[in-house]
Amino acid sequence: MSTSSNPLLIVGSIAFDDLDMPSGRHRDVLGGAATYSSLAASVLAPGGVRVVGIVGQDFPESHLADLRARGIDTAGVERAAGKTFRWHGRYSEDLSSRASIDTQLNVFADFSPKIPAAYEKSPFVLLGNIHPKLQVDVLQQARQPKLVAADTMNFWIEREPAALGEMLKRIDLLIINDEEVRQLSGVQNLVRAAADVRKRGPKALVVKRGEFGALLFDDAGTFFVPAYPLEEVLDPTGAGDSFAGGLLGYLSARGEVSPGSLRKALFFASAMGSFCVEGIGPSRLLSIGRPELAARIASFARLVDYGGDLVVPG
């Protein structure tokens, strides 16, 4: 039961991840885009996050209990006959790149998201990276959301351009990385690529650039948020999904969509991305609370505080 007046509905993968990190191998780690996004959002909007996804018979009930313990509503997580989605990633020595060694769709292959009646009126919706046709199906089940945000990836950009085009027409905010924006638009220059993507539907576009921060393009102009400089990064898996969860979690907690709140939300997005990479899998996200978030946001404010007067001298 949601205790928020503006709940956030998140749809996406729930997974077992096998992670090969320079520091060691990790097997059967709780993963998936919906997992990372919902954990990040739940810090900002406790009691206001609802997840729709699918798991197999092998998925421990304790993982779902861990999500519920963070105030996430898991009533929309379907349990199907078969195995849970599994992804195997291998990272480079400096963690700056990774290869997908194996992706086993398992129960995710026949996933057809069903939005429970109690979730239909979710004012905020985050469509994780799934087939764009399924993203549209979700929107057909949602009743007049205030804001719909979506993620996608190169796989769908290459293989499902028509379905992706339909999805773009129905969303307000697209959150993707710089490579994907270039691929989607066919334009190298990011500013022009962003303008092209915004003409296809989403009024606002957030371009994630990993350790180089993120750019927002909307009707109010262009805005930048840095990535939080960390001394140690353990595992970048899920950082993008945590970023999106932080962003939507902030907006749903505020219940407001405006250029100003979107700009503030980006700091919370970047903060949640930074927490995510501090642990293996979602371990750090599972342990932080509002005090840690408040402290990081305060350091963020200092990071970008130039003193208020930036005029050409003389």
What does the binding site for ligand AMP look like in residue numbers (CB under 6 A)? 13, 15, 17, 31-33, 87, 103, 129, 237-241
Greatest alpha-carbon pair distance for the chain in Å reads 72
Q: Shortest distance, CB of residue 128 to ligand AMP, whole angstroms?
A: 7
Tell me the C-alpha distance between 70 and 66, whole Å. 7
Q: Which is nearer to ligand AMP, 71 or 245 (CB)?
A: 245
Helix 33-44, helix 259-276: angle, nearest 10:
120
Q: How far is CA 199 from CA 49, 96, 122, 220, 221, in A?
A: 30, 31, 26, 15, 15
What does the DSSP assignment read for 231-278? S-----TTHHHHHHHHHHHHHHHHT--SHHHHHHHHHHHHHHHHHHTT
Q: Which is nearer to ligand AMP, 39 or 171 (CB)?
A: 39
CB 149 within 8 A of CB 126: yes
Q: Shortest distance, CB of residue 11 to ligand AMP, whole angstroms?
A: 11
Handedness of CA 84, 129, 38, 22 (dihedral sign): positive
Q: Shortest distance, CB of residue 127 to ligand AMP, whole angstroms?
A: 12
Q: Which residues contact 259 (CB under 8 A, 6 or more apart)?
A: 218, 219, 220
Amino acid at 303: L
Q: Which is nearer to ligand AMP, 241 or 278 (CB)?
A: 241
Ranked by CB distance to ligand AMP, the top (closest) residue is 31
For residue 227, the cross-strand partners are: none
Q: Shortest distance, CB of residue 246 to ligand AMP, whole angstroms?
A: 12
CB 277 within 8 A of CB 233: yes
Q: Shortest distance, CB of residue 301 to ligand AMP, whole angstroms?
A: 25
Q: Which is nearer to ligand AMP, 111 or 123 (CB)?
A: 111
Q: Shortest distance, CB of residue 68 to ligand AMP, whole angstroms?
A: 19
Q: Which is nearer to ligand AMP, 261 or 283 (CB)?
A: 283
Q: Which is nearer to ligand AMP, 87 or 124 (CB)?
A: 87
